Amino acid sequence: MILSKPSLYENYALLLISLLFEHEYPDVNTTNDLRLTDISPDFWYPIAWSKDLKRGKTIGRYFGKHPIALIRPKKGRVFALEDRCAHRQVPLSKGVVEGDSIKCCYHGWAYGRAGQCVDIPYLGKDANKERIPNCVKSYPCRETGGMIFIFPGEPEKADSAAFPRLAQVYNPAFKTRRFNPSVRCHYTFMHENLMDMNHQFLHRRQMGQIKARYLGGDNGDNFVEARYSFARTGNQQPLAERLIFGKHKYDPNKVQPVEEVVTIRTTYPYQSLHIHDKDGDLIMELFAAYVPDSPEGKSCQTFGLLSVLRPKTPFLIDIIWPALGVFTNRIFHEDKEIVEMEQKAWEELGGDHNVEVFPIVKKLRELLLRHGVPHEA
Ligand code: FES
Ligand SMILES: [Fe+2]
């Protein structure tokens, strides 16, 4: 069918109609759907725990849609390569570590630290140099705090990219717990969940009766921060919480004083939580990174470090540590369940229909949109 060109009059009519109905255009939630925003690759991301990669072994992980092979030679540092053999694309992480290289499990092509193919066994040593066709991508890689990090973005940006602060993992005054649950949701739900402490109602069975009080917030180009105190509205204080923070008295006739200040901050793309006591001393710090681990962007791997100040009584922290683990696991399980429900709703509704009213969460959403990149299909 051939359409005739609209006349000038028709063009004016179309313009008028579009202006009249402008208010019906989709708003930012649908045109800039946060769940269609991938995390920026130009940062350092934890991708595995050090303890999961033994000497002389290799493991496979995903950063979004990108498969990553981590290789730990018997001697020397860990390195990271694209987890696909250049020959027939099978995972290199199924291969064998030999010296400073990884040998593909299929025909035995071997790759060095920079991803260069260093041997094709059946071509013979002399022929290799001219006939080796290509190599695989390598990723800048660092190991610290019990985690292996990669830089999935442009490698030349790796050295200047800010490296995150890993809670108090190297401070002997603190004991640090690591947790690593996989969550079936877009990574942005995790940021919103922690930033919005108004969700303590969800944890009413674990946390006793407390109410978050918003003390204020702050934001800048690469961060959003919210500060809260928690007022007790009933006498049930969980044992683990009481052992760490001390007993919080509850008087229904008084306004609850600010006991601890909880500061939650997303410094893109990481998140932290600090708890300071009423003297301003740090008593707990959390570092969290949510690393997308599937091509669709509908799941992420959490890397969490929770550092707790050791009480003055020797070994008390070791005695309460298992109870603290159970307590934090239960809280995290409730958070995991709820964010996975949010993800499911997003999928069923075919987009973000959230009605957000809390200003600091709106700021957080803007931050995640601003620094993220459009979803890679
Ligand atoms: S597929 Fe890897 S060597 Fe052939
Ligand atoms: Fe929570």
Residue 240: pLDDT over 50: yes
User: Looking at residue 17, what is its pLDDT?
Assistant: 39
Residue 19: pLDDT over 50: no
Q: What's the pTM value of the predicted model, to 2 decimals?
A: 0.86
Tell me, using a 6 A CB cutoff, whether residue 106 lines ligand 1: yes
> What backbone phi and psi angles, to 5 degrees, belong to 191?
-60, -45
Whether residues 247 and 106 share a domain: the answer is: no
- Range with lowest mean pLDDT among 26-30, 305-309, 361-365: 26-30
Whether residues 77 and 179 share a domain: the answer is: no
SS3 labels along 299-329: CEEEEEEEEEECCCCCCHHHHHHHHHHHHHH
106 against 245, higher pLDDT? 106
Residue 107: pLDDT over 70: yes
Cis peptide before 238 (omega within 30 of 0): no
Residue 318: pLDDT over 50: yes
Residue 43 belongs to a domain: no
Q: Report the phi/psi class of residue 167: left, alpha or beta, with left for phi > 0 and alpha for psi in -120 to 50.
A: left
User: Confidence band (pLDDT; 50, 70, 90) for 212?
Assistant: confident
Whether residues 182 and 72 share a domain: the answer is: no
Let me know: does 68 contact 84? Beta carbons within 8 Å. no
Residue 242: pLDDT over 50: yes
For residue 306, the cross-strand partners are 177, 286
CATH number at residue 81: 2.102.10.10
Tell me, using a 6 A CB cutoff, whether residue 94 lines ligand 1: no
Per DSSP (E only), the strands in 42-151 are 45-49, 57-63, 66-72, 79-82, 96-98, 101-103, 110-111, 117-119, 138-139, 141-144, 147-150
Q: What is the pLDDT averaged over residues 11-39?
A: 55
Residue 72 belongs to a domain: yes
User: Could you count the other beta carbons within 10 Å of the beta carbon of residue 39?
Assistant: 25
Whether residues 123 and 201 share a domain: the answer is: no
Total domains present in the chain: 2
Q: What is the pLDDT averaged over residues 201-215?
A: 82
Residue 47 belongs to a domain: no
User: Looking at residue 359, what is its pLDDT?
Assistant: 96
156 burial level (CB within 10 Å; 0-12, 13-18, 19+)? exposed
Residue 201 belongs to a domain: yes
Q: What is the pLDDT averaged over residues 227-253?
A: 67
Whether residues 306 and 206 share a domain: the answer is: yes
Q: In the block, which residue shows the tokens 């939650």? A: 264
Whether residues 81 and 122 share a domain: the answer is: yes
User: Looking at residue 57, what is its pLDDT?
Assistant: 98
Q: What is the mean pLDDT of the chain?
A: 87
- Give, in order, the Cα–Cα distances in Å from 56 to each of 71, 76, 101, 112, 135: 8, 10, 10, 14, 21
User: Looking at residue 377, what is its pLDDT?
Assistant: 64
Domain range for residue 263? 174-374
Whether residues 230 and 345 share a domain: the answer is: yes
Whether residues 85 and 136 share a domain: the answer is: yes
The residue to mutate among 58, 90, 103, 111, having the most atoms of ligand 1 within 8 angstroms of its beta carbon, is 90
Residue 296 belongs to a domain: yes
Residue 161 belongs to a domain: no
Tell me, using a 6 A CB cutoff, whether residue 121 lines ligand 1: no
Q: What is the pLDDT averaged over residues 320-344?
A: 94
- Range with lowest mean pLDDT among 84-98, 199-213, 214-228: 199-213
376 against 176, higher pLDDT? 176
Query: Is the dihedral angle over the CA atoms 365, 366, 369, 370 positive or is it negative?
Result: negative
User: Mind listing the pLDDT tens digit for each residue in 265-278?
Assistant: 999 999 999 999 98
Residue 67: pLDDT over 50: yes
Residue 7: pLDDT over 60: no
Atom of ligand 1 nearest to the CA of 90: 1
CATH number at residue 261: 3.90.380.10
